[in-house]
Each structure stands twice: as C-alpha cells, then as structure tokens.
Structure 1
Amino acid sequence: MVALLVKIEHPNNTNTRILKQNDLFCALVAWAEAIADAKRKKLVEMIIAIVISIVSGIFILGCIGWGISRMRRRAKRTAREFDSQRDSKEEDQGEDLELPLFDLEVISGATNRFSFEKKIGQGGFGPVYKGELRTGQEIAVKRLSQSSGQGLEEFKNEVILISKLQHRNLVKLLGCCIQREERMLIYEYLPNKSLNYFIFDQTGRKLLTWKKRFDIVLGIARGLLYLHQDSRLRIIHRDLKTSNILLDSEMNPKISDFGIARIFGGDQMEEKTRRVVGTYGYMSPEYALNGQFSVKSDVFSFGVILLEIVSGKKNWGFYHPDHDFNLLGHAWKLWNEGIPLELVDVLLEDSFSADDMVRCIQVALLCVQLRPEDRPIMSSVVFMLSNQSAVAAQPKEPGFVTGNTYMGTDSSSTGKNLHTGNELTITLLDPR
C-alpha cells in the first residue's frame, strides 16, 4: 500500500519507490528476526529452568535417599555390634541368650509416646516410664538418654548380665528394644518404686515397721549372696544403694540397675579399674580411692544401706551438731560409747527387740570396716542376721567419707579418676 502511494505521488521517481520498498522489507525481516530471537531466548530460558529443576529434584531425592540409607546402616551396625557382643558373651558362657525384643511402636504405644505423665523416675541411664502392654501387663521402660553418662556398653552389660540371673530378690528383665536410635530395657513394673522413697521420707518411714525393714534387709542380703556365690556368674554390682532397691506390691526388695556390674570368673577375687563409677556415700574406700573392687565392695555398700534402714537417715549429707562425722562415723561413735540404740529411727519407738537391733547394727559395722579382708562375706552376713544365737565379732574402725557437703547428697560419679584426686578422705576413729 505504501509503495502504491509512492507511485501515485511520484510517478517519475522510480529510485525513491524502490528504496521505500527495500526499507519496508528490511524492517519486516528485522522484526521477524527479533521475534525469533525472543522466542529462542525464552525457549532457552525455559529449558534451563526445567533442567535446573530436574537436577535439583534429583539432588534432593539423592540426599534424602542417602540420609535414609545412612540411618539404616547405622541401625544395622548398632544391632550387629550388640549381637556380636552378645554372641561373644554367650560363647564364653557356653549358653544361648534368650531375650525378647520389643518393637519400638509397641513400647511407644504402651507409654503413650513416652509422655511426661508416664514418667516415674530418672537415673544416670535416663528416664524410666510406666507402660501397659496390650495384654494388660504393666511394665517399666528404662530409656537410654542421648545425653546420658552411660552408653551402649552399660546397656549391653545390663542386658547380658541380668538376662542370665533369676532370683526373687533381683528385678526381672522382660526384654529390650534396639531400634533406630533407641535403646531401652523393659522390666517388670514394681508399684512401690524404690526403697529411698520410703526410708528417707517422714510419711513413708511410718509405713515401714521394724519387721518390714528387717525383711527388706534380709531380702537384699539374699540377693547379694546369690550374685556373689549362688548364681551361674559371680557378679559384683558396684552401685548398690537405696535407690537401686525396688519394692514390689508386698514390699519385697529387688536389686536393680546392673549397668556397671562386673563378672568375676574362676578364682578371681578382685579387680582394679581407673574408671571409678558409683555413688558417693556407698562406695568402699579401696574402690573410691584406688579403683579396687571385689565382693567386699558390695558388702561395704550393704552395710551402709543397713545403717540407713535402721536410722532412717542418709549416710551422705548426715548432720549432727556435736561432730562432723557422717552416718557411719556417728554409728561407730555410739557403738564405742555403748549406746548404739540411739542410732535407731525414733519412728520405730518400741516395736523392735533391743538384742535384734544391736545385732543388726553390729553386722552393719562389720560390713563397713576399713580393711576389705576384715569384712564378712554375704553368706556370713545372712547367717548372722538370721540366727539370734549367732555371735558376731566385734567390729573394727570403719572406713568412711567424712561429712563434707560440697559434693551434695547421693551424687553419682560419671567415671572420672577419683582415686587420683583429693576429693575423698578417709577418717579413722579410735575407740575410747
């Protein structure tokens, strides 16, 4: 149309008409090329975006798959390590370890997803929950905490040891759970919790008559005798204390927590370690200071518990206005002064035989003597406690930690080299 107008307006100007036609053609070509370039650029951008999206998706999926695969490998490795440890122990003992494995979802459901309302305790190992299986059976679930001072070794140690032990005064292990990052021990549920909930509580102590306290003492002694002498394995508990004595519905005692227990084989009598673990106030002097432990270390701890049951007071943190001794030192002082019955819990009043009570205090002092060789073995302890006519030897001075309070009460060691420091001291009392 433009060319036609040019022709009408300038009929004699051929060059001008041709020039304008060329300009129009060039403009159309340039426009078409610009459109093509834009389409090509947009297409390239779309292709790049699609490629980046696909590559990013593949990378993300790869990372997720790698993470899942790593978690699975870690879980399998943990299970293999546990099985290897268990198998090696089984080969040493020549017996098969039969222990039920619980599914994580079953335990989680039984404890209402480990809710705070189901939590019934807290120890060095981790929290303890009450649960109920679909069968109606009540259980106690001991869950290893990620921040626990104890770890996989203690967990495996407790499983291997307690699965081989059967005694009415030992807590019964029902099984364990090893799944994902979880490690849990499943025990029978004992409704009355532990001895320290009663013996150190003003209201709880009133429920414990002397007869019931003496039955608890005998039960603990028989449980230790089984561990030291009558079981298939000779076990040194190493952390015997009131909080590790659980009570069933009839207040029968059951020794628990074998995470740091040790097996003695053959004629082995003692062992030495640089990793001292246990609880202040219950550890024997030779173990606390030198890392040496034996059955006599448990005997010392038993003696402390017996004095605590008699008095209703804790050894560590005990206070008396006339001296700085702890409960052991106070008991020894009263014994030498000829007034041992002043140690007895005032809540017991006249519900006990004086002769029986003096005999119990005497046996306790024999158990906490400084030198391990002076302490009786548990078979002698059970005999002396069970027989009124049994004449016990006169105790020698005890070995005990003085009543320093800067460590707090009932504080647990986490495995440091206590025997290399000066945190603990031994005080000896000479009889007057």
Structure 2
Amino acid sequence: MPEWRPHGTTTRRLGRWESTAAHQRAIVLAAAGAIVAVIGRRPDLLVIVTPLVVAALWGHLARPRVEVTGTAHLGDTTLREGAVTGLRVSTEPTLPELHGIVTLAQAPWVERKPSGGIAELEDGAATLGVRSTRWGRRRVGTVSIALTSAWGAFRAGPLDLPDLDAATLPVPASFDASAPTPHPRGIVGLNRSNRPGSGSEFNTIRQFHPGDRLRRIHWPVSLRTGALHVTSTFTDEDAHVFLLVDCLSDLGPREGIDGRPTSLDVTVRAAGAISEHFLRSNDRLTLRTVGAAEVPTLGVGSGTNHLRRVLDTLAAISPATERRDTGERAIRGVDPNALCLVLSPLIDPTMVALAHTLAVRGMTVVVVDTFPDHLVADPTNVYAALAWRMRLLSRNAEVHALRQRGVPVVPWRGAGSLDQVLRDIARRASAPRMARR
C-alpha cells in the first residue's frame, strides 16, 4: 500500500480574463444612449451616458493581459486535535488595481476563522485560520479564488483549487503509571530487573572486584572495614508492550475535541497516551488494529520517532471499514513475554474472543474498557440510554468470564488507570511457582 502523504500546497491557473455582465451592460447602455442622443438630438442624454462611456473605456484599457496563478499553502499539514494553523492564499503576478475574494468551503471537523470562510486579497495575498476538531485524515476544504479588474470590468474565476489534505493526530489523554512494566527482557530501559548489573536501582554493598568503577566506591564502609567496598545495582531493562485497538465500531455522537467523546475517541486517545508513556520510558511497543482497512502495518519500535509513527497510524483509522476482520492476523507473531493491552468498549464479541485467545496462549493480558459513560446517562435520549443499559447487562457477563480466566478488565479513567493492575501483575510474576522435579 503506498504511503499516504498530506498535500499542503496546491496551485492552479485561474484561466482567461472574461468581461463581466456589468462591463457589458455599461457598453450596451453607453452605445444605445449615444445613438438615441444623436438621432433624437438630445445632448442632455449624451451627458447622462458619459460616465458609462468613461467607465467602460477605462475598464477596457485597464484590463489584465496576463494569466494569474492562484496558490494555497497550509501552514502545518500535521496538527493535533484543537490546534489552529494558517491557510495562506496568494496570486502571481500581483497586478495593480486588482480586487479578489477567497472563500474556504465548510468541511467536516474543520472550523474556519473567520467563521464565514471569506477573506479579501490584499496585495495579492490573504490568510485564513483553520482549526481541526477531531483526529483523522481529511480534506481541509475547497479553496475558491475570484479576481476582478478595475471598475469590475473583467474577472477571472471563481475557480476551485485542488483540495488540501491534513492529518490530525489524536491528543493523548492524561496518563502516567508509577507501577513497573512486567516482564522486562531487553537491554535498555527504565524497568528494574531481578539480576545485578549496571543500573540505577540500589542492590547491596559488596567488596571491590577488578573492573568495578571507582565512582561506585562506598567510602564510609570502606574506611570502617579497611577494605574497598562498592555499591551494586540492579540492571535496567526494557519491556515489550503490545497494543490491540478495537476499530470495529464508533459508539456515540461525534462531537469532536470540544464535545463528548465517542468510544473510538476514548480508545484512540487512550492508545496515544499509553504509547507516549511507555515509549518515553524506552520500552518497545507494537500497535495492531482490528476492523479498520488500509491502516499501515507498524512493527516493533521505541523512542519518540516511533511515537510519531504510532500517532500517524492512529490517525489513519476509519472505523468499521473491515467488518470481516477476525483479528487473527493482528495477534499473529506476538512476543510471548509482551504485556498485551486490549483497548475496546467490549461491545463486539470479536474483541472478547481475542482477549480469551491471548490469555489461553499464556500471555499477560489486560483489557482496557473504553466504553463512554455518557451513553447510559444521556438525559436528551432516554430510550437510547435505556437500550445501552440493557446491552451492558449482557456485556457484564462477558466481562465476568474474562475475569474468571484471570484477565483483568480496567475502565479507562486517565492517569493512574493501570497502576494497580500493573503492580498486581509484577507481584504475580515475581511470586514463587510450583514446578515439577
């Protein structure tokens, strides 16, 4: 699949200059008035049509003789939800006594500033504000340019420029976890392992061995015992986090960043927040989606560059575009030691079955419930709220089955949502186990 790239600049020639209806009307009235004045010997009528003659002659002599090219440039082609960027429209060459109007058509999830989307060209340029109110890839809106010469005699356009594209990245929700990531297996990171090595977490004080760093010498113990002692630490390792995002549905009214979130809004923003937290901790992360077509495949990575790729992948999601997706491809080849986070409102049975499948394989699975609470407490639609409460009764049985299998289901509440469950998983991983001898 070819890589999608936003189009931030577009150019088009505005075509030939054509006479306006006002200019043609001035010529006809001036000619008719002059003929009637001569035939009827009415000098007063000739005086009346003289301004029309002057305007028509002036407009014809001042007509532009070159084609004008219109250009629209978007300041930022990648935005965050709620961010504002500038749309600059210019014409080349800049002609004197030229008047122009720029209009920006209304587009979904795009606010125009000014709200009417109309600006006047000054010195061949105009600037409008564009604010994106929801994540995703979308058209900014059709830009139209209309130019008129002196006295409104000739015009070029209105002509639509090719559409501009922009990618709006989701704003990660507020999230931070103080609990350690379970199953660290890498060689870099901020998670304390169980084996001693070079790190930042204190382990013990021991005697000096050849190869120990001098800055590790513990002088109080060394002076007291008469032999060199050093402080040893636990090594720091990174963990692998696997995110499985439910794109099979988008529940709730779509109101953008300024309104109530849909289930997919909560899911995408939670995925962005979790990714930002773990990637800034030098952990490795993999992102897979279920139910969305034409989403680029994202492999394992770490660091801020990988975070940008994760947000770009989340912005490419179109919900319910692949209803036949069973998710088997998404969970294929997952690291057995990875922490599997399933983000879903748990309405579609496919995601519940995938969580069971991952748990049966012996992986560490945590289901993050992203169902928006306002759907069951909507005073504006009592019947819809009642229907959702009835649907949640059957969903509770599915959630109970997951918990019976040992899969924790945690509602998404922002910062600290996963602290307790990650601590429990880390404690369970370090607990002694029964083994056959």
TM-score (norm 2): 0.25
Higher strand share: 2
Q: Which entry has the higher C-alpha Rg, 1 or 2?
A: 1
Higher helix share: 1
